[in-house]
Chains A and B, each alone.
Chain A
C-alpha cells in the first residue's frame, strides 16, 4: 500500500518537472512534437529505473558501509554517465528501431538534472530498495506525462497568436505554470 501511494505521489503530486523543477531543459527543448516528447519520456523513464537500481546498490553496499558518503556526488554522476553510455550501446545491439526512436535523446539524458535528482532524493530520503525502484519508475512516468501534455499544448499553441516577446520560452513557461497550478489539485489526494 505504501508503495502504491509512493508511486501515485511520484507521478502526480511530486511531479519532477512541476514540483521539483528538475529536467526543465528537455521539458522546454523537446516538447514541440508529441512523438519526440513520447520518445524522450520513455528514454528518461528507462534510464531513471536503471539509475534508481544502481545508485541504490552503490550507496548502500559501498558508500555507506565504508563511510564514503562524501563521494556521493562524484560517484553518482559517474554511474549515470557510464550507465547511459552502456544502455545506448546495448539498445543499438538489441533493437535498431528502439535505438532510432530513443537514440538521439540518450546522450542528452546524462546532463539531465532529473536523473541526478532522482539518485540524490532517494539517497536523501533513505528509501528501501523496493521504494527506490518504485520511486524511479513513478518519477519517470510523471516526467513523461508532463512532457507529453506540454507537447500537446504546444502543438496547438503553434497556431495561436502569441505576442512577439512571449514567443518561445516565455509562453512555454507560463503554460507550465498553469499546468503546475492544475497539478496542485492532486495534492489533496493523499
Chain B
C-alpha cells in the first residue's frame, strides 16, 4: 500500500508538481493500480462514474486535511484505526448526502458508496503522504489524486457507455446504424477495457520514458 514515493523525501517538489503527479505519473488507477474495485463497478455509465469520482474526491480531500492537521496527535500504533474512523465519518456524510439529494444515483451506486471506506487510494494517501506532510501539501496532493481518479473513471465510463449503449451522459451520440455492444455494460467488458487501458498506459509510458517500467502486480 505504501507507494514508492513514500520512501523518498520530497520537500523539493513545487506545489504544481505535487498536483500534476496525480494526473499521470502517479495516477491512482492506471499507474498505482489502486481503487480498481469501484473503478470497474461503477463505470457502466458516465453519470455513475462522475458521481463516484466526486464522492471519493470529497472523502479523500477532507480526510487528508484532517489527518494532516492532527497527525501529531495520533499514536503510531493505532494510526490505521484512526485513519479508518476519520475516513468512515466522511463516507457516512457523503452517503447520507447522496441519499437525501440524489436518490436515483444513490440507488444505482448501491453499496459502492459505503465501500469508499475500504478504497485503498484513500487509506494509501493517508499512510504515504498526509501523515508526513503539511496540511497545504496534503490538500494539493489529495486534489491531484482525486483529479487523476476522476479522469480514469471518465475515460473508462465514456468508452463503456458509448460502445455499450451508444449514448454519452444519456444523449444519443451514435447513429441509428450502431448496434450497442451489450457486453460492454456487463462485467466482462469492464475487465477487458481496463486491461487494455492499463496496457496502453504502460505502452505510452515506455515510449515517452524509454526505460523499463516497474510493475506492482
Contact = CB atoms under 8 A, between A and B. Distances in A.
Contacts of B88: 73-74, 77
Given A21-B36, A28-B217, A170-B196, 16 more contacts: A21-B40, A21-B187, A22-B115, A28-B33, A74-B89, A77-B84, A78-B85, A81-B81, A111-B118, A120-B111, A164-B206, A165-B199, A166-B202, A174-B192, A177-B187, A178-B192
A77 B206 contact: no
Nearest to A181: B188
10 contacts: A21-B36, A21-B187, A21-B190, A22-B115, A28-B36, A73-B117, A78-B85, A171-B195, A177-B189, A180-B186
Given A77-B118, A116-B117, A181-B188, A169 B92 contact: no
A173 B195 contact: yes
Contact of A124 (B111, B120, B198): B111
A23 B120 CA distance: 11
B132 interface: no
Contacts, number: 126
A158 B118 CA distance: 31
Given A169-B198, A172-B217, A184-B186, A73 B92 contact: yes
Interface of B: 1, 33, 36-38, 40-41, 81, 84-85, 88-89, 91-92, 95-96, 110-111, 114-115, 117-120, 123, 183, 186-192, 194-196, 198-200, 202-203, 206, 215-217
A24 B40 contact: yes
A-side interface size class: 35 or more
B149 to A, nearest CB: 15
B200 A24 contact: no
B92 A177 contact: no
A29 B40 CA distance: 16
Contacts of A72: 114
Interface of A is mostly: helix
Contacts of A66: none
Contacts of B215: 167-169
A101 interface: no
Contacts of B38: 21
B41 A21 contact: yes
Contacts of B191: 173-174, 176-177, 180
A71 B189 CA distance: 35
B113 to A, nearest CB: 9
A176 B199 CA distance: 15
Nearest to B187: A180
Contacts of A4: none
B115 A113 contact: yes
A69 B209 CA distance: 50
Contacts of B92: 70-71, 73-74
Contacts of B111: 117, 120-121, 124
A50 to B, nearest CB: 17
B37 A113 contact: yes
Nearest to A113: B118
A133 B85 CA distance: 27
A164 B123 CA distance: 31
Contact of A70 (B96, B186, B194): B96
A171 B192 CA distance: 9
Given A70-B92, A124-B111, A170 B198 contact: yes
Interface in A117-149: 117, 120-121, 124
A81 B84 contact: yes
Contacts of A174: 191-192, 195-196
Nearest to A19: B187
Interface string A154-190: 0000000001111111111110111011001000000
A173 B118 contact: no
